[in-house]
Homo-oligomer: A and B are copies of this chain.
Amino acid sequence: MNKTVVISVDAMGGDHGPPVVVPGVALAASRAQNGLRFILHGDQAQLAPALERTPGLKGRVEVRHTDTVVAMDEKPAQALRRSRGTSMWNAVESVKSGEAHAAISAGNTGALMAISKLQLRMSVDIERPPLVATWPTAKGVSTVLDVGANVDCDAERLLEFAILGEAFHRAAHGVARPSVGLLNVGSEDMKGHEEVRQAHRILREGRFDINYHGFVEGDDLTSGVVDVVVTDGFTGNVALKTAEGVARFITAELRAALTSTPLATAGAFLAQGALRAFREKMSPDPAAPLLGLNGVVVKSHGGATDKDFAAAIRVACTLARSDYAAEIERNMRKLVAAVGESCPPAADGAG
């Protein structure tokens, strides 16, 4: 069952590169015993000292040297043109060639999407892999997508996100039948714009292997009413950034309130352990999968610590071991039939 999983790592990605990536790899390896092996793509001269400091990785890591990297601030189109042979390109190539079961990078998100799409191709008919957020809720975590990659979404795109998100949530969080909701401005059938209403109608018909809950609203994101929240990349991006902004704002206001008087400051001092635990729960998830590709690619955030990077590796490993690609393919075939019957055919027969 627990076959050995090989993870291909862009060892130069992220704000810190090897000094964070290598300890992250070591941390993930130490927890997974022998079930996990790594191919590290990057500059041998920078990787060697970091690897020397982590003897536990001996025999489980193979280093593939490359001189070039994708810069964190490069535009995706520009990065793509000169990306061949970079640590990021080679990390994804190891998945394409079948040497690795999953690739991981803390580098430039747009470039990783473009490189992954070019090499692995999309398994579904969307322009870009949706960005997935793991959202803290009162009941645990929800999967929210798309949070920014696809700004214009018709009903079919939303249905694809539902299929991708549902399979991901089951694989990543071990929920047998994740519930799925469509983000809207109310819960009644006639609420919202046509795209969201059409997706709602098709999901309610129950042709997919999806536990569809119905519409959810913005405040349901944190109450955890459903496991998976589906929305277009415009609304999802605004919701995610609004939530981050509110969390930052409240933290700052709270800090100001708790140092406003000597009594409050004393109180804050006594409560500091609890406040720290609270901040940790609120911090965003370190890993975002790029869904809908023919292969597993996980993005770890740029400022990831070694612990964050290890957590992102665990997500990549869980996805690589899961059945989620097959589940997605099964539901995607049903989607083609459902949309064909529900929508008039497009004027041109292309695609």
Measured CB to CB, the residues of A under 8 A from B are 136-138, 148, 151-152, 183, 185, 191-193, 217-223, 231, 233-235, 237-250, 252-254, 257-258, 260-261, 263-264, 266-275, 277-278, 281-282
CB pair B234–A218 under 8 Å, yes or no, is no
CB pair A273–B245 under 8 Å, yes or no, is no
CB pair A253–B238 under 8 Å, yes or no, is no
Q: Which residues on the B side are within 8 Å of A244 (C-beta)?
A: 218-219
Task: Given A239-B238, A257-B277, answer yes or no on A220-B245 (Cβ-Cβ < 8 Å).
Answer: yes
Of B233, B247, B270, which contacts A250 at CB under 8 A? B247
Q: Which residues on the B side are within 8 Å of A183 (C-beta)?
A: 238
CB pair B240–A218 under 8 Å, yes or no, is yes
Question: Could you name 7 residue pairs across A and B whose Cβ atoms are closer than 8 Å?
Answer: A217-B238, A218-B242, A221-B242, A222-B245, A222-B246, A246-B246, A267-B270
| Nearest CB of B to A23, in Å | 29
Q: What CA separation (Å) do A273 and B266 show in the bound complex? A: 12
Q: Which residues on the B side are within 8 Å of A223 (C-beta)?
A: 245, 249
CB pair A271–B282 under 8 Å, yes or no, is no
Q: Which residues on the B side are within 8 Å of A242 (C-beta)?
A: 218-219, 221-222, 239, 242-243, 246
Q: Which residues on the B side are within 8 Å of A248 (C-beta)?
A: 219, 222
CB pair B257–A264 under 8 Å, yes or no, is no
Q: What CA separation (Å) do A264 and B245 show in the bound complex? A: 26
Q: Which residues on the B side are within 8 Å of A258 (C-beta)?
A: 271, 274-275
Of B152, B253, B267, B278, which contacts A281 at CB under 8 A? B253
